[in-house]
Structure 1
Amino acid sequence: MNKFEEKTITTESIYSGKVVHLQIDEVLLPNGKKSKREIVKHPGAVGVVAITEEQKILLVRQFRKALEKTILEIPAGKLEPGEDPATCAIRELEEETGYCAMHVRPIASFYTSPGFADELLYVYQAEQLTLGQQHTDDDEFVEVVSLTLDECFASIQKGEICDAKTVLAIYHWQLLK
């Protein structure tokens, strides 16, 4: 065991849902003491940076119950079991915005909240966009919005854009310009 590793002694499953699985692990700490860790297991997700020919980023406006407010985000969605993240990115972009990407290329991947969750989020740049047909899930209500870079920064200041993946996407776009 390395000097920071926590060895799992027991795992107790608390809840299995459509999106997350919750568990409590009893762990052996590096100092020999025991502790408990509450862990959220998540299958992973993707986010898509899609810039139109008009130099606007495609975003979706949607209500987020965990925040109790409506925010603007890059198109994103959960990975299906065994699904390739690039395939998921293309699918989610089309489902949420109606835009199709001929190609996507990886920008970054990161753990969203490593203190309690194992969700790994992949962010892709969409390339060669064409407008198709939006087809959201039955429980998904989104409005497609396209903003300039300056409008994005104003939306960050107003708190309309407030999630990590979207802020990362906007700063990535700024670096490309």
Structure 2
Amino acid sequence: MEWKSYGRRRVYGSDYVEVWLDDVEIPGVGRVDHHVLTMPRPSTTAVVVDEQGRFLMLWRHRFITNRWGWEVPAGWADPGEDPAAAIRREIEEETGWRPGRVEPLTQYHALSGISTMQFSCFLATECTRISAPQDVSEAERVEWLTEAEVVRCAAEGLIDDGPSLMAVSYYLGPYRLLHSR
């Protein structure tokens, strides 16, 4: 079943998010106003893994949920910026580590029922420490965690940021299954 659109009205817009009200017809339901969030810039995340199999993670507070947790490096691509270049920049700014190799893991829509937000997820390896983190507002601390620590943190809810949980889970599951053959 496919929804039919009769138009769209912008409710709010900024450099970070736009809110639209779409007039849609849902089969079996009828016409309704449906909220849609659009993000003007592409989002990127990365699992950063070293030669010992450790994960580079950021410990940070999110004021919206009022929670502390571990996250992977992430951010938005600037207009016209390649997502792989954007995640390289974000990793360096947020952690002080420069990735030597960046490869695509997956792409996904984070909230496909209400938003166009799409993430490009990467694997970054062969990192070199170049400085302290440039953006001190991103994290209270940056640490390399073992795979066992990352799995425990995910199981205990200490990685509850959706993009981080997706990136780590995808790397530990499908990526490794496909690349272990």
Q: TM-score, normalised to structure 2's length?
A: 0.85
Secondary structure of 1:94's counterpart equals helix
Which structure 2 segments of 5+ residues have no match? none
Residue aligning to 1:45: 43
Distance, in Å, in 2 between the alignment partners of 1:44 and 1:142 is: 25
Distance apart, 1:40 and its partner CA: 0.7
Secondary structure of 2:126's counterpart equals strand
Q: Match for 1:166 among 159, 164, 167?
A: 164
Residue aligning to 2:135: 136
Matches within 5 A, 1:25-174: 25-30=22-27, 33-42=30-39, 43-133=41-131, 134-136=133-135, 139-174=137-172
Distance apart, 1:55 and its partner CA: 2.2
Residue aligning to 2:17: 20
Distance, in Å, in 1 between the alignment partners of 2:58 and 2:29 is: 48
RMSD: 2.1
Distance apart, 1:19 and its partner CA: 1.5
Secondary structure of 1:34's counterpart equals strand
Distance, in Å, in 1 between the alignment partners of 2:150 and 2:99 is: 22
Distance, in Å, in 1 between the alignment partners of 2:4 and 2:63 is: 33
Give the residue type in structure 1 aligned to 2:2: F
Q: Does the CA contact (< 8 Å) of 2:44 and 2:75 recur in 1?
A: yes
Distance, in Å, in 1 between the alignment partners of 2:28 and 2:152 is: 48
Distance, in Å, in 1 between the alignment partners of 2:149 and 2:2 is: 43
Q: Does the CA contact (< 8 Å) of 2:98 and 2:129 recur in 1?
A: yes
Q: Does the CA contact (< 8 Å) of 2:46 and 2:72 recur in 1?
A: yes
Q: Does the CA contact (< 8 Å) of 2:3 and 2:24 recur in 1?
A: no
Distance, in Å, in 2 between the alignment partners of 1:95 and 1:20 is: 23
Task: Return structure 1 stretches of 4+ with deviation > 4 angstroms.
Answer: none
Which structure 1 segments of 5+ residues have no match? none
Give the residue type in structure 2 aligned to 1:128: E
Change (3 A) 1:76 1:142: farther
Deviations 1:138-176 (A, max 9, x none): x53442121111111111122111133322333344353
Give the residue type in structure 2 aligned to 1:132: I
Distance, in Å, in 2 between the alignment partners of 1:174 and 1:40 is: 30
Q: Does the CA contact (< 8 Å) of 2:57 and 2:71 recur in 1?
A: yes
Q: Does the CA contact (< 8 Å) of 2:10 and 2:19 recur in 1?
A: yes
Q: Does the CA contact (< 8 Å) of 2:51 and 2:126 recur in 1?
A: no
Q: Does the CA contact (< 8 Å) of 1:96 and 1:142 recur in 2?
A: no
Give the residue type in structure 2 aligned to 1:55: G
Distance, in Å, in 2 between the alignment partners of 1:141 and 1:74 is: 11
